[in-house]
Amino acid sequence: MPSADRHLRDLELLERALGSDLPADPHANSCPSCRARIAGLAEGRTHLADLQELLHDGVGNDAVTIPAALSRLSGALARAEELVVAAETDDDAFAAALADASASAEFPEIALHAVQIASRVPLRSPALAMRIAQTVREILVGPRFAGSSFRDLAIGVCSLLEGQGLLYVGRSDEAVLCSRSALDELTLAGAPDILVSRARYYLGSALWGDARYADALILLAEAREGFARDEQVSWVGRTDAAIGLVHFSEARFDQALRAFDSALARLDAEVDPGPVASTQQNRAGILMNLGRLAEARAAFGEALELALRAGLQASAATIRVNLLGLGLDEGHFEDVRTRGERLVAQCVRDGLDVDAYYARLALAEAHAALGNYGAVRELVDAIRENAPSEVRDDPDASALLSRLDAGDHEIAHRLRRLRHYLSGRDRFEAAREA
């Protein structure tokens, strides 16, 4: 039934975009967001990956004639998926697929959808995500596609994808600049509301990575409002998870847990394995800080199983680093030493600088507990030299870092103190005792 009190559902939007002879809807007539989404679907500007099955399960059963614009969109989506699959295969396959796609006058449209589809890549390989974004952008900025209505949108989405990759490898200050450029580019290009909300979400996440927590919460709240307005339930869940992470970083554990639980209630592990795994691991981190170690290990285990099943190698590495901290709390120092050495090498090889930093910190604490002080001193040098911005720019963390030149009998305690501070545990316990 038509209603002026709610946004149109996806199927209703798609039916109107297909030109069906439907009665006027009072909400659609007065809502700029719904009108823009209908126009975007009809003109082929909106990403339709999550609506394709509606053509068969809903509209398709009624034998509705699909307009040429939507048929073109379906073809562009298919070619976009082929391009991303080629990038995920190897460099040669990507180069060949890109050469073929870019020879088409429709390349900006294909690129717009491909870079959105490639948002699944950063949790598997941040470096590949950045390479896709940079390579596609280099082609788009040339004069050949200057007249395309899709070009500026695609360039903005490239900046979004590159910002995601930068955040995952710990280059948070660059991620902020890239994500802010994406928001500006998409706004200037008149992007659909959903893309602008996503840009706010990714910029908020980058600001969190740069330890600018107040600014992050502002952007994430704006993104959440936009997603809720467009009834994008899964994106509301992703944003709740990001908000929870900001609270976690500022040691507001109760608020963080509520945000994580809200996120998990809205996310489907089959559809969004990356956000679910990340939320599960962050929730496990809070349980660890609260001393609920058995629950934390079970939650980390669920997150790791999901990440591995979905092929999310970067996410799996982060979870394994967190498990090192749990092993230290459980007193399993030899196990942490063995796993930590392998994990440091893996993170360095994969360019996961922040994960490598925290793995070294855990490994140093394990060596100190075992009395291997020579290994500790080498690791402390690396910990000081490679501190990420969240440590470098925090005066208290920097002070704790400077005290790691203590004698052998004190170093284990000081390493543990730094680890607890960076996890927010010290601040939470101080607030609870106040």
pLDDT of residue 345: 96
pLDDT of residue 99: 95
HSE (CB half, 13 Å, CA atoms) of 345? 6
d(CA 242, CA 118): 20
> Quick one: residue 351, left, alpha or beta (phi over 0 = left, psi -120 to 50 = alpha)?
left
Residue labelled with tokens 């290009």: 189
Query: Global pTM?
Result: 0.73
Residues in the chain: 434
CA dihedral over 169, 170, 171, 172, signed as positive or negative: positive
Q: Supply 185's token pair.
A: 């580019």
d(CA 165, CA 121): 9
Q: What angle do CA 356, 362, 364 make, to 5 degrees?
A: 100
Nearest to 404 by CA among 367, 430, 353, 355: 367
Residue 3 CB-density burial (10 A; 0-12 exposed, 13-18 middle, 19+ buried): exposed
d(CA 227, CA 54): 21
Q: Angle, to 10 degrees, between the axis of helix 313-330 and the axis of helix 293-309?
A: 160
Is the separation of the CB atoms in 153 and 135 below 8 Å? no
d(CA 192, CA 43): 12
pLDDT of residue 23: 66
Residue labelled with tokens 């450029």: 181
pLDDT of residue 66: 46
d(CA 203, CA 215): 10
Provide long-range contacts, Cβ within 8 A and 24+ apart, for 92-101: 94/132, 94/135, 98/135, 98/136, 98/139
**pLDDT tens, N- to C-terminus, the chain (434 residues):** 334 445 666 666 666 665 555 666 666 666 766 766 666 665 544 544 444 444 444 444 444 444 444 556 677 888 999 999 999 999 999 999 999 999 999 999 999 999 999 998 998 899 999 999 999 999 999 889 988 889 999 999 999 999 999 998 889 999 999 999 999 999 999 888 889 999 999 999 999 999 899 999 999 999 999 999 988 899 999 999 999 999 988 889 889 999 999 999 999 998 889 899 999 999 999 999 889 999 999 999 999 999 999 998 989 999 999 999 999 999 999 999 999 999 999 999 998 999 999 999 999 999 999 999 999 999 999 999 998 888 888 899 899 998 887 677 889 999 999 999 988 877 666 556 55
d(CA 114, CA 77): 7
Residue 156 CB-density burial (10 A; 0-12 exposed, 13-18 middle, 19+ buried): buried
Q: Supply 300's token pair.
A: 């980390």
